[in-house]
Structure 1
Amino acid sequence: MKTIASCVEEIIISSPFLEEGLSREIINYSALAKELNKPISDMLRKPVKDGAIMMALRRHHQPLNLDNSVRLKKAFENLGDITVRSNLSDFTFQNSKTLIHSHSRILEKISANHQIFYAFTRGMFESNIIISTSEKENILKAFKNETLIGSQEWLSAISIYLPKGNSKIAGLYYQIFKRLAWEKITLYEVVSTTNEFTIVVEDSLVDKAFSVIKSLKN
């Protein structure tokens, strides 16, 4: 049987921004109770009082997994180097039988230059390349027979070296995404390996995104 407390719990769990605001204690309980009155009344199919909702909000606490919380905290404290690379471009091509051959051409071209940023991701129907803008002409030449779906310049990448065992920690990526979303930072692309995590953002957002990532260590 649904109660006001269970309805409040359900709404908070499905609203990451609301959950974050409550955890930071920056949300007015009275105002939020008024806002939630209609949806909770609809869920219970009867009118409810703002005071009862406000009491449920004050009693709400996030379920604690102490072991995982400690592991999360330790992981963020042990984040490795944070590297920023600018002057990047993004290219998306439709998958084809010849795409891998075009890919091998560009790899051969840039293999000797370790200063070039390069990331390749293959999906079910399209493939994505993020590369230093200085190689734009080489990309267009190597992939001239492929179908270009879209491209974007003026991008920057922020790479974070993650501690070993990060793949066993629940919520690690969620915490990173949540912080970025809270600061209204739009991610253009995300690339990850076992111990390295890279976000790609537009140049105008890179300073703000870097500050958010750096603050995770604290």
Structure 2
Amino acid sequence: MKTISSVVEDYIKSKPFLQSALAQGIINLTSLSRSIKPEIEDQLGKDVRNGAVVMALKRLSDELEFRATHKILRVLKNIGEITVRSSLTDYTFLVSDTILNKQASLMREINSKDIFYTSSRGVNETNIVVSNTLNETVERIFKDEKMTQKVEHLSSISVKLPEENVIIPGIYYFIFQRLAWEGIILNEVISTTNEFTIIVHEDQIDKAFSVIKDLKGL
């Protein structure tokens, strides 16, 4: 049997940004209840009082706030090293039978710790992000591959996460929604078990770094 609380919760959970704002207590519950009341009534098939919707929202916001402060925020306070690199280029190539051999050749030519290199492979594409000093090398080695995109003037932020990040749901969502709120465009996201790297345009690196650094103080 549907109840006001269950319908309100389902509605809020279908709106990620609204859910986050509600958890932070930055939404006027009375105004929100008036806005969603017609849809709640439609789902229940009957009229409901505005006060009942407000109470359901209040209970839900308290629950969401508890989840955030006791789990996600505990992990974020223990974020480790944050490393920023600049002057990067992002290449995208179509997957081919020879692309792995080309990547192996590139790896053999990277012999400096000051060089940034990362690669990821999807079903149809292979992505390579390198320091721009390697641009000529990449384009020479991959000249016979089909390049679909090349983006320059990029920077990266690499973040070391606590080991418990793999058992706490919502860590990446919590981080990325704050980057989205600041209008930061992610060119690439690369992750390992306890570390992730975002690639952004140079003109957004300061804002992106500030957002991630401030997570430790939430």
Please confirm whether the aligned pair reaches a TM-score higher than 0.5, indicating the same fold. yes
Residues 106-121 of structure 1 mapped to structure 2, 5 A cutoff: 106-110=106-110, 112-121=111-120
**1:180 is matched with which residue?**
179
Corresponding position of 1:62: 63
Residues 1:177 and 1:213: Cα distance change in structure 2 (over 3 Å): same
- 1:65-80 to structure 2, matched below 5 A, reads 70=70, 72-80=72-80
| TM-score normalized with structure 2 length | 0.89
Aligned to 1:210: 209
Q: 2:139 matched to 1:140? A: yes
Retained in 1: the 8 A contact 2:24–2:65?
no
Deviation at 1:113, TM superposition (A): 1.6
Query: Which amino acid is 2:32 matched to?
Result: L
Q: Secondary structure, in 3 states, of the residue corresponding to 2:56?
A: helix
Q: Which residue of 2 aligns with 1:31?
A: 31
* Aligned mates of 2:10, 2:16 — CA distance in 1: 11
Do structure 1's residue 3 and structure 2's residue 7 form an aligned pair? no
1:41 paired with 2:41, answer yes
Which has the higher mean CA deviation after the structures are superposed, 178-187 or 84-93? 178-187
**For structure 1, which runs of at least 5 residues remain unmatched after alignment?**
none
| Structure 1 residue 63 displacement after superposition | 5.7
Where in structure 1 do 4 or more consecutive aligned residues deviate above 6 Å? Answer: none
Q: Would you say how many aligned residue pairs link Structure 1 and Structure 2?
A: 216
Q: Cα–Cα, structure 1 residues 51 and 73, in superposed 2: closer, same or farther, change >3 Å?
A: closer
Distance 1:28 1:65 in 2: 19
Aligned equivalents of 2:19, 2:136: Cα separation in 1: 46
Which residue in the other structure is 1:160 paired with? 159
Q: Comparing 96-105 with 38-47, which one deviates more in the overlay?
A: 38-47
CA distance in 2, matches of 1:147, 1:171: 36
Query: 2:37, 2:205 → 1: CA distance?
Result: 39
1:18: how far off?
Answer: 1.1
Deviations 1:29-87 (A, max 9, x none): 22211210222122123343433322322232326887x96454443222111111111
Letter in 1 for 2:8: V
Deviations 1:123-168 (A, max 9, x none): 1211100111221121111100001121211211100112234323
